[in-house]
Amino acid sequence: MFPIRDHNPSGRVPYVTYALIAANIGVFLSYWHLFQDGYALGGFFYDWALTPVRLGEGEALHTLVTSMFLHGGLMHLAGNMLFLFIFGDNLEDEMGHGGFLAFYLASGIGAALAQAFSAPWSEVPMVGASGAIAGVMGGYLLLFPKARVDVLIILVIFFKVLPVPAWIMLGIWFGLQLFNGVGTDAAAAGVAYWAHAGGFVVGLGLTVPLWLKLGGPSFWQRTHGHPPHPEARYRVSTTRVPRAGHRRNR
C-alpha cells in the first residue's frame, strides 16, 4: 500500500521540491558506479553517511546534512522521491520557497539526531531522505488532514486505487514506524524507523507556527480539514478484460 498522488493542487511552481528531487537523483548517479565495488562504496558512505557512534564523538557533523542526499539503492531513491513529489509541493506553496527549504533541512537533521539517539553506539551508516520527507508528511498532516490521497493497494494479483483522507494514510504510516521502531534493534535494523518517526514529529512541530498563523483550529473549521482550494479530480478508468468463451465440441 503506497500513495501515488493527492487531490491537492499547489498554487505555485514548487521549484524547491523539484530542485531537491533533482539533487537527490544527481547525487545518486554520481556514485552509482560504486555499487559494483563494496569496499569503495563503504568508504564513500563512511565519509558522507551518518554513523551514530562517530556523531556521538563529535566527528563528521557534516553528515547530518549530506546523509539525507544519499540512498542505498534505486528503489530506495524512487520511493522517497515519490513521497516528496506528492506531499512537498503543498507545503512549499504554504511556506514559500525559502521557508520550505529551511523546513526540509531542519526536519532531516532532526530525524538524523533521533536515529542517532536511539542507538548512539551503532556503527551502521544511515543514508536517505526519508527523515526529511517524513517531516514533510507531518506538516502535511497538520495542514490538510482530510486532503484525499490516492493509495495503490496491491494484494497478490489484486490492484486497486483507493482515495483515502490524508490523516488515515499518514497516521497508519506513522504508527507503523513507531511499532517497528519499538520492536526492532535500532543498531541492527536495516530501516531507520526512529529517523522516520522523529522526522515526522519534528516536521509537525515546525509547522505549528504556520498553522497558528493561518488560524489554528479556526483554519480547520473554515476548510473542514480539506485543502483551502478546490481539489483536483482524476478520472480512474479500469481495464476491461475480454471474457474467455468456452467452445463446445460436438
The tens-digit pLDDT sequence of the chain (250 residues) is: 688 889 998 889 999 999 999 999 999 999 999 999 999 999 999 999 999 999 999 999 999 999 999 999 999 999 999 999 999 999 999 999 999 999 999 999 999 999 899 889 888 899 999 999 999 999 999 999 999 999 888 776 677 777 888 888 888 888 888 887 776 765 555 678 889 999 999 999 999 999 999 999 999 999 888 888 788 777 654 444 444 444 444 4
Give the model's pLDDT for residue 171.
87
Q: What is the pLDDT at residue 132?
A: 97
pLDDT at residue 242, as a whole number:
42
Strand partners, 153: 160
Compute the distance between CA of residue 146 and CA of residue 142 in angstroms, rounded to an integer. Answer: 10
What is the reported pLDDT for 247? 44
pLDDT at 239: 40
pLDDT for the residue 173: 84
Which three cell numbers mark 146?
A: 482530510
Q: What is the pLDDT of residue 165?
A: 87
Residue-level pLDDT at 172: 86
CB 176 within 8 A of CB 241: no
The whole-number pLDDT of residue 235 equals 65
Contacts (Cβ under 8 Å, ≥6 apart) of 175 = none
Q: How far is 188 from 128, CA to CA, in rounded Å?
A: 16
